[in-house]
Amino acid sequence: MAAGGGGGGEDVYATLLLTDTYLPGALVLAHSLRDAGTTKKLAALVTLDTVSAEAIAQLKSVYHYVIPVPRIQNARPANLLLMNRTDLHSAFTKINLWKQTQFRKIVYIDADVVAYRAPDELFSITHPFSAAPDIGWPDLFNTGVMVLTPNMGDYYAMMAMAERGISFDGADQGLINTHFRNNYNRISFAYNVTPSAHYQYIPAYRHFQSSINMVHFIGSEKPWFKGRHASTESSPFDEMTGRWWAVYDRHYRATSAELTPPASTQSSGVAATARPVPEFVQYLTKGEYQPKSSHVEPPTAQVQEQRDQTSRQHDSPSSGMHSQHDHQGHDAHGHEAPLSEANNRQLEPSSFVSHDVISSLSNNEDSQSKAVEEQVHAQELHIAPSEPKQQLPPFQPPTSSWDAQRHPPPVESKPEAINFPVTIYEMSKSTAPFVAPQRYPSPPKGMWYEVPKEAPAAPSEPPKPIFPWEAHRSTPSRVFIDEESKVSRHPGTTPSTESSMTETSTAEQNNEPLTPITPTIQVTMSDPWTTYSRTNAWDEVPEIERYVDSIQQNQKSRSRKSPGMIGLPSPGEGVEDGTWRRRGSKLTDFPSEVERPSLPVTPAPIHRSTFWGGGPSTVKGAIDPLLPSAEGVPGQGDWDPVAQLQKLAKQQSEELLKRLGGTGRDSSDLPPRLLPFGSEELVSPTYVTRSAQILSPQPVTGSASSSSVLSPVADFKAT
Ligand SMILES: O=c1ccn([C@@H]2O[C@H](COP(=O)(O)OP(=O)(O)O[C@H]3O[C@H](CO)[C@@H](O)[C@H](O)[C@H]3O)[C@@H](O)[C@H]2O)c(=O)[nH]1
Ligand SMILES: [Mn+2]
């Protein structure tokens, strides 16, 4: 063994076993690493004075090295009380890791850790000491996972501290943190995830879940102390606990075959020693020990027999001791003293645990009766019945102890539907002929829907109007293809057969006016460009008008203080008498048709004979029927965008000039306005020029002031 350390040697994962009670943990840890396919060897440091031979034998079945180390006890354990963990009085023993200089690098892992994957990459860290943050105080590191280079320097330094009891928590974590305070390499929390039943940062867990390497069950409650059904929720904590149990089950769960061995071996009492699954481990795992039995006996006798068997099995030279200590430490059935009284499960002579289990079964009345209860329960659930007919076990949903994303199903697993409740119906074997009953029960009453005798009368009157404009609503004049049949069925409504926008359909003549006509506007059907109303039906509702007036009155009085606001009438426009308001009192204060005739918004579609998908024979003879055209919408053929744009431009210019003071000026002598760029060549695909005169942009002839306003024209002049 090299004294300097850190030189040659191999890499090992190492753990520590101070007591038998942590054996299930140490075994599950080793299996989890091996199952994950680690290429490194495994070592377990053990304190021979407190770990039984049986436990060491178990360790040897999975660990390459089982290394005895001297137990280092804290002579001043007062600080341990601060965290209620007096069971950790010998945690200083961990310091022995630095003495193992036969190894190049050690990845130390607490016995209460389960590996999701083998973190072999940790061995390539060059830093002499690495650890992950502790959730209790993240500036500290947790000593449950450490990557260290053994060397005698660190060993002696820490031994000196241990002898003086220098540790703020009384255990190894306080000591090692003090020693490596300023010189440790922080590794990811994913290497030492410490779940909590009370607090879990669930979003982070969900986010980083897939990167978890190892899970460490810190605190006094370990999975194997609580039993597999300690919790049935599916919290992150339960998921992680489930992963521990998945490894346990893979290697230590009793199969039903083992629970019902052949009768010959049963009577000999030797069966217990033949072990695919070691009972010793089950003893130490709460709720897992199930004694073998193939026939129903009075439970008491059975327990007695089991106890005797176990007694023989675990007999050792020190067995005489077991009656002396009425130790009530943790037994495998969970009939333990509270875990906070943790020193109860500590520091007994070698192999004390097995005796402890036995003594609790044999010496303690209470324990015994509970054990009997459990025995009976175990029979109900798991042990093959001796009588042919026995109640099926109650349905238990499968526990989520296995992560299907990462691992194959546990070796012992059964098909998913194995637990589903099954009801089997059998055919009647009766040969007696069927005799109909005298009377069948009458159907239940009042369970059907009574169809109303009369159909609900159609509402004779339309619903009362809610909004003012509903009172003088106009009938829509556009007709769509789907409605064609309806229209033609209407007496006197014949679809127009010509595509002419100016033609008034029969429907229009028979019905109300189709365009909302306000009293002030003269509709001239001959000029479709002026027939669009720019007012709203509700503009004339007196209530609304009054309301708007009142608002504007308000605004007016306020804005007088700031003249020049856009939209305010000039002093000459009759502010004082209020006449200007007539034009501006509407919510939608668009220029009227007279002021600014609108462009048609949607030209009516041109009817194409092929569109309707049929030849002349399909609809009404040789000519396809046309939909009645909407009133006031100009025909497509009349649509000349160029002319309309110019018309609009001219009108606007006129208006502008008018506002600028040029009253009474005849618009006809205004030059046509420049069209928007790119639209000069615009020609409607359907428009047939009716007047040969096409207006072209001409230089403006107005005054200097007007030309500066008509900037597009001025620009044009400049070019
Ligand atoms: O009765 C015992 C107690 C401890 N151990 C071993 O010592 C380790 C530490 O004890 P543990 O119960 O795991 O402590 P934690 O609850 O994890 O508490 C924290 O505090 C301990 C004391 O500082 C540190 O050793 C741990 O790494 C740290 O996570 C265990 O994993 C075992 O390897 C035993 O074998 N038997
Ligand atoms: Mn631990």
pLDDT, tens digit, 9 for 90 and up, residues 414-450: 676 666 667 788 888 888 888 888 888 887 777 777 7
Check pLDDT > 80 for residue 5: no
pLDDT above 70 coverage of the chain, percent: 53
Q: Is the CB of 343 under 6 A from ligand 1?
A: no
| Ligand 2 center from residue 304 Cα (angstroms) | 36
Ligand 1 lined by 96 (C-beta under 6 Å):
no
Binding site membership of 212 for ligand 1 (Cβ less than 6 Å): no
- Has residue 111 got a pLDDT over 80? yes
- Could you tell me if the CB of 110 is within 6 A of ligand 1? yes
pLDDT value at position 677?
65
User: Comparing 174-178, 351-355, 386-390, which segment has the lowest mean pLDDT?
Assistant: 351-355
Query: Which of 266-280, 330-344, 379-393, 465-479 is predicted least confidently?
Result: 330-344
Render the burial of 483-507: b for 16+ CB within 10 Å, e for the rest.
ebeebeeeeebebbeebebebebeb
**Above 80 in pLDDT, residue 304?**
no
Residue 167 beta carbon below 6 angstroms from any ligand 1 atom: no
pLDDT value for 712: 43
Q: How confident is the model at residue 194 (pLDDT cuts 50, 70, 90)?
A: very high
Share of the chain above pLDDT 90, in %: 31
Convert the pLDDT of each residue in 490-534 to its tens digit: 444 444 444 444 444 444 444 444 444 444 444 445 566 666 667
Q: Where are the domains of the chain?
A: 10-252
pTM metric for this prediction: 0.47
Rounded to the nearest angstrom, the distance between the alpha carbon of 100 and the centre of ligand 1 is 19
Ligand 1 contacts CB of residue 45 (under 6 A) = no
Tokens standing for 655? 């208006």
CA of 413 to the centre of ligand 2 (A): 29
Q: Which residue has the higher pLDDT, 329 or 34?
A: 34
Q: Which pLDDT value is given to residue 561?
A: 54
Ligand 1 mutation pick, 46, 112, 214, 220, max ligand atoms within 8 A of CB: 112
Q: Please say if the pLDDT value at position 380 is more than 60.
A: no
| 300-306 own/partner pairs: CB under 8 Å, 24+ apart | 300/372, 302/375, 303/361, 303/368, 303/371, 303/372, 303/375, 306/375
Cα separation, 700 vs 719, in Å, equals 13
Residue pointed to by tokens 């965008």: 641
Q: Is the CB of 346 under 6 A from ligand 1?
A: yes
Tell me the pLDDT band of 628, cut-offs 50, 70 and 90.
low
Q: CATH fold of 10-252, please?
A: Spore Coat Polysaccharide Biosynthesis Protein SpsA; Chain A (3.90.550)
Ligand 1 centroid–CA 144 distance in Å is 7
Residue 153 has pLDDT above 50, yes or no: yes
Q: What is the 8-class DSSP label of residue 379?
A: H
pLDDT at 219 (0 to 100): 93
Q: Could you tell me the pLDDT band of residue 461, with boundaries at 50, 70 and 90?
A: confident
Answer yes or no: is the C-beta of 142 below 6 A from any ligand 1 atom: yes
Instruction: Name 218's Cβ contacts closer than 8 Å, sequence gap at least 6.
Output: 112, 135, 142, 144, 194
User: Is the CB of 114 within 6 Å of ligand 1?
Assistant: no
The pLDDT mean for the chain works out to 70
Structure ipTM: 0.98
Residues bordering ligand 2, an ion, CB closer than 5 Å: 110, 112, 144
User: What is the distance between the alpha carbons of residues 582 and 327, in angstroms, rounded to a whole number?
Assistant: 104
Q: Stretch 639-657: mean pLDDT, rounded?
A: 85
**Mean pLDDT (whole number) for 158-169:** 94
Who wins on pLDDT, 222 or 383?
222
Of 293-307, 325-339, 352-366, 467-481, which has the strongest mean pLDDT? 467-481
> Which ligand 1 atom minimizes the distance to the CA of 174?
23
Instruction: Return the pLDDT at 413.
Output: 67
Distance of CA 658 to CAs 651, 662, 699, Å? 10, 5, 19
Give residue 544's pLDDT: 83
- SS3 (DSSP) at 169: coil
Instruction: Determine the average pLDDT of the residues in 653-675.
Output: 65
Q: Residue 329 and residue 337: Cα distance in Å, rounded? A: 6
pLDDT band at 406 (very low <50, low <70, confident <90, very high): confident
Q: Which residue has the higher pLDDT, 307 or 141?
A: 141
Distance 314 CA to ligand 1 centre (A): 26
Q: How many CB atoms lie within 10 A of CB 656?
A: 13
Does the C-beta of 28 come closer than 6 Å to ligand 1? no
Position in ligand 1 atom list of the atom nearest CA 172:
23
Instruction: Identify whether the C-beta of residue 541 lies closer than 8 Å to the C-beta of residue 472.
Output: no
Please state the φ and ψ torsions of residue 368, each to the nearest 5 degrees: -65, -45
Average pLDDT over residues 260-272: 40
Q: Given the CA of residue 216, which atom of ligand 1 is nearest to it?
A: 17
Least confident of 340-354, 624-638, 698-712: 340-354
Distance 18 CA to ligand 1 centre (A): 9
Q: What pLDDT, on the 0 to 100 scale, is given for residue 382?
A: 42
- Of the pLDDT bands very low, low, confident and very high (cuts 50, 70, 90), residue 328 is very low
CB atoms within 10 A of CB 465: 11
Q: What is the reported pLDDT for 145?
A: 98
**Does residue 20 have its Cβ closer than 6 Å to ligand 1?**
no
114 pLDDT higher than 80: yes
* Cα distance between residue 248 and residue 559, in whole Å: 84
- Residue 372: its pLDDT value, please? 41
For residue 271, pLDDT beyond 90:
no
Sheet holding 141-148, edge to edge: 65-68, 41-46, 10-17, 103-109, 141-148, 129-133, 185-186
Pocket test for ligand 1, best of 21, 22, 340 (most atoms within 8 A of CB): 22
If one counts every other C-beta atom within 10 angstroms of the C-beta of residue 422, the result is 8
Question: How close is the Cα of 110 to the center of ligand 1, in Å?
Answer: 6
Residues 330-353: what's their mean pLDDT?
36
- Backbone torsions φ then ψ of 15, nearest 5 degrees: -130, 180
Region of 170 (left: φ > 0; alpha: ψ -120 to 50; beta: rest) is: left
CA gap 373, 154 in Å, rounded: 52
Of 33-42, 287-296, 613-622, which gets the smallest average pLDDT?
A: 613-622
Inform me whether the pLDDT recorded for 156 exceeds 50. yes
Q: What is the pLDDT of residues 19-59, one digit of tens each?
A: 999 999 999 999 999 999 999 999 999 999 999 999 999 99
Our answer on whether the CB atom of 177 is closer than 6 Å to any ligand 1 atom is no
Predicted local confidence at residue 394, as pLDDT: 61
Q: Is the CB of 15 under 6 A from ligand 1?
A: yes
For residue 356, what pLDDT band results from cuts at 50, 70 and 90?
very low
CA of 103 to the centre of ligand 2 (A): 23
Residue nearest to atom 23 of ligand 1 (CA): 173
**Whole-number Å distance between alpha carbons of 649 and 653:** 6
| Minimal-distance CA residue to ligand 1 atom 22 | 171
**Listed residue (498, 508, 503, 499) closest to 478, CA to CA:** 508
Most confident residue range from 64-68, 408-412, 689-693: 64-68
The owner of tokens 């060397």 is: 151
Residue 589's pLDDT band, with cuts at 50, 70 and 90, is low
Better-predicted residue by pLDDT, 515 or 314: 515
E strand or H helix at 376:
helix 365-382
How far apart (Å, rounded) are the C-alpha atoms in residues 597 and 589?
A: 14
Contacting residues for 491 by C-beta, under 8 A, at least 6 apart? none
**194 contacts 173 by C-beta, under 8 angstroms:** no
Residue 580: per-residue pLDDT: 46
672 lines ligand 1 (CB under 6 A): no
pLDDT at 116 over 60: yes
| Whole-number pLDDT of residue 436 | 87
145 lines ligand 1 (CB under 6 A): no
Ligand 2 centroid from CA 287, angstroms: 22
CA distance 366 to 345: 19
Higher pLDDT, 602 or 236: 236
Q: Which atom of ligand 1 is nearest to the CA of 173?
A: 23
In the reported structure, the alpha carbon of residue 88 is separated from the centroid of ligand 1 by a whole-number distance in angstroms of 7
Q: Is 128 touching ligand 1 by the criterion CB < 6 Å? A: no
